[in-house]
Structure 1
Amino acid sequence: MRSLLILTAWIAQVLICFYYVRLLPNASVRCIWVLAPCVILTYLTTYDLPQRSMSSMLLGTYCWFASIRLIHWIVMSPNHYNTLVPYVRRLLWMFLPVVSCTEDYRKQWPIHNDFLMSALKITINHWLYRWLLSCSGSDSYPRLLMFFTFAVTYTFFSDFVSGIIRLVTGDKYRHTTTINFPFLAHSLRDFWGRRYNQLVSSVFRESIFQPVRQCLSSATLASLIVFLVSGLLHVHLAWLAVHDLQVALAAMLFFVIHGVACVIEAHLPFRLPVLVSWLYTQIFLLLTASLQIGVFVKAGSDFFPDNAPLFFDQKWIPKLPVPNFCPK
């Protein structure tokens, strides 16, 4: 009953914002009318969710996405949508992020690649999960690398869904690319902008970076604000995960460091050789990873048993042998 009431309140907030708040002439007033209910609803949605649960963090992320979208469309760009249907459709896009499938994409990535990638990812993902499950908690660099690989291969289902969408629509549409080979990132900007978590990147680019850059006429400030908001989001997610202020602040520090590093990258008067740049990027990511994901790796048996990947118990999925040692 409580969940239904909260969902109804979110729907009411979306409609009130469109039909009433959007039409208010004062941007500050619009901001209050959007932000205050969104903060309250996000709190009510997430305050008693289970700790160390990926589903809890996912729900918290959706609350932030909805709030960010509403701030963009109602406060910063009230004329962005003048009719209800595209407004609601775009808001719901985060639940099924479908995009057009271009001719270039079809040539570079045939439909069967989606299914092959899904099969490869699910095999590796389940293998790493069983390996992590057998190990005690540790935030060593090898263990961080294992967890990150587990996280990026967790997107196997979106690859499968993308293949299905392409088959059903005659290759006209696809699921947006969630993870785009992050281990190939040759710079931090390449990692955050093109490689990692493209759903979040799309929302932040459209609803934070672009409107802020237009308002402030500064790509640098817009980039820093994106990382600041991302840091605040992950502070909340870290709090949902463990209710530990130190862990939450570490997550904020992670995004501040990466935001500053990306700005420095953008203003370097020279370019590093590709191989050197790739090596620097991967090392930088690994050295700072513990600030963001260390809490989950250290939790070990307190985290992994309750966060089994999809289809983990299915016997038809190949099971690679788990090594009988744990990286220190």
Structure 2
Amino acid sequence: MEGELYNLFKVWFSVFASLFYCFAIGKTVPKATVAAMARALLGLELEPQFNEPYLSTSLQDFWGRRWNLMVSSILRPTVYEPLLKTSAPIIGRKWAPLPAILGTFVVSAVMHELMFYYLSRVKPTWEITWFFLLHGVCLVAEVALKKAVARRWCLPRFISTPLTVGFVLVTGFWLFFPEFLRCRADVRAFEEYSAISAFLKNAASMFRSFNT
């Protein structure tokens, strides 16, 4: 029995480690590389794209303040705020964020489906859409619950953080990760890194040849 539990633990640890790599490192490294190049070539300091998402205490904290901040800063003025202004006269300012949140996740789902279709050129399975719809609905429920209790009660951080991160990992492994592998995004990313590395090596060798 102990051996089976140990093997089960190893399997799930491998799954979560792989998922963390694809979610965090797979997205952080390219953007960190771009930021480093912008700093070196143009003297520009780009804003950080992630703010320690593993410390998220809620889905609202994860999606709004910690994960993929560039996309959040784009969707907020283009989707969320217009929907918020449209919904406020109909259902009131207190509850207007709920349809605005759900609409933002719908747009994000469509964006990701198009991105994965561009990478794979195969018929979508709509798992990505279900991933974002699930998170949108859960975030709406979370915000509604917070408004209902008026923040009189909240979970301590040592409970809310594992619950939040665990929910993101499990749902990501269930709905997001299979599509990520199906379109071979990880393989394509490494191919792009190799191409960039080869280009930089050639540029460096040409620069040295000009100076000799």
> What TM-score do you get using the length of structure 1 for normalisation?
0.46
CA shift for structure 1 position 153:
2.6
SS state at 1:176 partner: coil
Paired residues of 2:39 and 2:45 also in contact (CA < 8 A):
yes
Q: Secondary structure at the match of 1:140?
A: helix
Question: Is it true that 1:286 corresponds to 2:169 in the alignment?
Answer: yes
Deviations 1:199-230 (A, max 9, x none): 11111001111111011111111110000111
Q: Are 1:219 and 2:102 an aligned pair?
A: no
* Contact preservation (8 Å) 1:213, 1:219: yes
Displacement of 1:254 in angstroms is: 0.5
Tell me how far 1:164 sits from its aligned partner: 5.5
Aligned with 1:306 (options 182, 188, 191): 191
Equivalent position amino acid for 1:280 in 2: L
Structure 1: how far apart are the matches of 2:128 and 2:78?
22
Kept in 2, the 8 Å contact 1:184–1:278? The answer is yes
Q: CA offset at residue 156 of structure 1? A: 1.4
Larger CA deviation: 226-235 vs 143-152? 143-152
For the pair 1:229 / 2:107, whether they are aligned, the reply is yes
CA separation of 1:273 and 1:237: change in aligned 2, threshold 3 A: same
Deviations 1:252-284 (A, max 9, x none): 000001101111111223421111111011101
User: Paired residue for 1:156?
Assistant: 32
Equivalent residues in 2 for 1:66-215, closer than 5 Å: 140-154=15-29, 155-160=31-36, 163=39, 168=43, 174-215=45-86
Provide Cα deviations, 1:186-208, integer angstroms capped at 9, x if missing partner.
Answer: 21111111111111111100111
Q: Give CA deviations for 1:270-327 in whole Å, capped at 9, x if unaligned.
A: 4211111110111011101132233333548854553327854679xxxxxxxxxxxx
Question: 127, 147, 166: which one pairs with 1:250?
Answer: 127
Change (3 A) 1:202 1:309: farther
Instruction: Report Cα offsets for 1:100-151 as digits up to 9, x if no partner.
Output: xxxxxxxxxxxxxxxxxxxxxxxxxxxxxxxxxxxxxxx9333222222322
Point out where structure 1 has 5 or more consecutive residues left out of the alignment.
1-138, 316-328
More helix, by proportion:
2
- CA gap of 1:300–1:255, structure 2 versus 1, over 3 A, is closer
Residue of structure 2 in register with 1:15 after alignment: none
Determine the structure 1 residue equivalent to 2:93. none
> What's the offset of the Cα at 1:251?
0.4
Which whole-Å CA distance do the structure 2 matches of 1:214 and 1:176 have between them? Answer: 28
RMSD of aligned C-alpha atoms?
Answer: 2.9
Change (3 A) 1:182 1:161: farther
> 1:180/1:158 Cα in 2 relative to 1: closer, same or farther (>3 Å)?
farther
For 1:311 and 1:181, locate their aligned partners in 2 and report how far apart those are by CA, in whole Å: 27
- Within a 5 Å distance, the mapping from 1:40-79 to structure 2 comes to none
**Paired positions, count:** 171
Secondary structure of 1:308 counterpart: helix
1:158 CA displacement: 4.3
Q: Are the structure 2 counterparts of residues 281 and 312 from structure 1 closer, same or farther at C-alpha, using a change threshold of 3 Å? A: farther
Sequence identity percentage: 26
| Matching residue's letter, 2:100 | A
1:76-100 per-residue CA deviation (whole Å, 9 max, x = no partner) reads xxxxxxxxxxxxxxxxxxxxxxxxx
Whichever residue aligns with residue 143 of structure 1, its letter is S
The 2-side partners of 1:236 and 1:190 are apart by 26
Larger relative CO (CA 8 A, sep 6+): 1 or 2? 1
Give me the TM-score of the superposition, normalised by structure 2. 0.68
Letter in 1 for 2:57: H
d(CA) in 1 for partners of 2:55, 2:195:
26
* Equivalent of 2:143 in 266, 275, 279: 266
What is the rounded CA distance, in whole Å, between the counterparts of 2:49 and 2:107 in structure 1? Answer: 20
